[in-house]
Amino acid sequence: MNKITSLSKKLKEFFNEKAEKISITTRFIKRKRKLKGSSFVKAMVLGNIGVDNCSVETMCQLLNEDSIDITKQGLDFRFTEEAVEFMKRMYNESVLLFKNILQVDCKILQQFNSVKLLDSSYITLPNSMEEMYKGYGTSYSGYESNTKSGIKLQLVFDYMNQIIDQLNLTEGVRSDQGYRKHLSNILSNDLLISDLGYFVPSSFKQINEIGAYFISRYKSDTNIYDVETNQKMELLECLEDKLFLENEVLLGKEAKIRVRIICQKLTEEQSMARRRKANRLARSQGYTSSKRNQKLLNWSIFITNVPENKISAEQVLTIYRVRWQIELLFKLYKSHIRLDKLKGKPCRVLCELYAKLCAILIFHGIVGCTEVKKNTELSLTKAFIELKRRVIELFLALKNKVNSLKVFLKKLTITWSRFSLKDKYRKTRVSTLTSLNLLTIS
């Protein structure tokens, strides 16, 4: 069975059989009525793909395409706790169903079973939801903020297979360092690339013991020790009069995990930009950045347990750029799915949030069916804009037989492979994939 045939069946199953069954088990549908669970899910998910701010009126128009005549007041009345549970269960189903197998052709990374990118994004919720989900505004004493309610979206993206490996929600005030679910899916010879928010030596130790690898930026207040003498080292002394440094050290006062620390001096312009950003953050959170930290901001500093015979120090710096792909995903979700624009009563907000998460997973599922030529990359932004333009076609195709949906998906993916590619003619910047393919295995 080819990818498009398989995805067509999954989409039909998700929007029809699964939706009908789950709507009844969650008691969103208690008796026969004109609004069915399948119609509600289609209007919620596809409405949030097709329109920047999907209103109740927009949903009513989509439902009318499904031969359901309902007023705005009647639909608004259906946003209940049962509706939230229904959409949450549908989101959980979408996580299971819409995994794709789009391989990225990159020899330097094919040494690993998978390359996982970990990051989070903060999403503001209406202040009325503060009791359910606390936001940054309530996390600091005396700190004025309008974001009294918020959640964090925790995302693990499998770069080589272009799949969302995990997509979880946590309370907005919860530290990324306290997030551990990403560790459950890491296997031997996997590579995890993460930012400072997830810098926890005990987690790195756990990854190392599994036989997996990590690359992370270095947190400046973390102790490092000499591998021979076990004596504490002062990194600034090691960096004096140098432009580049690579050393093997023991990381963490208790973990004492053996890592390579790789340091590259930044330009004065880059250093000034980092200091401005660090000082803004320090002021907003009521502390002053130390002189030591200010000096370390002159450097890009990374730690990794990947041995040098797999990737060199210079290659580590290039490979870490892959992490920006997850930043681009969050930008896409916020710009085009409006993931950070959630308004209304709590039940409506949560239904819309789960619908948008379903939309993200379905979009990536379709991306997995798209074949592109070697050394070309699909622009997810261009692809999503094209899907958005044709969302009514998708809505109608879901009403008909599987073959109609297959035809739609085939046309869409062919269009993507021809007209939704990343621009080759940007002379000022080399793409991440091109940079990676220039690397050679040691």
Q: What is the model's pLDDT at position 434?
A: 55
Strand 244-251 versus strand 114-125 pairing type: unpaired
Strand 213-217 versus strand 190-194 pairing type: parallel
Q: How far apart are CA 58 and CA 52, in angstroms?
A: 11
- Residue 422 is given by DSSP the state P
CA atoms within 13 A on the CB side of 129: 22
Q: How far apart are CA 162 and CA 442, in angstroms?
A: 25
- pTM confidence score: 0.75
Q: How far apart are CA 54 and CA 217, in angstroms?
A: 39
Q: What is the model's pLDDT at position 370?
A: 86
CATH assignment of 112-217, given 3.30.420.10, 3.30.390.30, 3.40.50.2300, 2.30.30.280? 3.30.420.10
Q: What is the chain's alpha carbon radius of gyration, rounded to the nearest angstrom?
A: 24
Q: List the domain boundaries for the chain.
A: 3-99+343-419, 112-217, 219-310
How far are the Cα atoms of 94, 108, 109, 253, 322 from residue 439, in angstroms, in the given order? 36, 6, 10, 34, 13
Q: How far apart are CA 88 and CA 84, in angstroms?
A: 6
Residues for the chain: how many in total? 442
What is the crossing angle of helices 3-12 and 402-419, to 10°? 130
- Low-confidence spans in the chain with pLDDT less than 50: 101-102, 138-144, 427-428
Q: What is the model's pLDDT at position 427?
A: 45
Q: What is the model's pLDDT at position 1?
A: 55
CA atoms within 13 A on the CB side of 26: 20
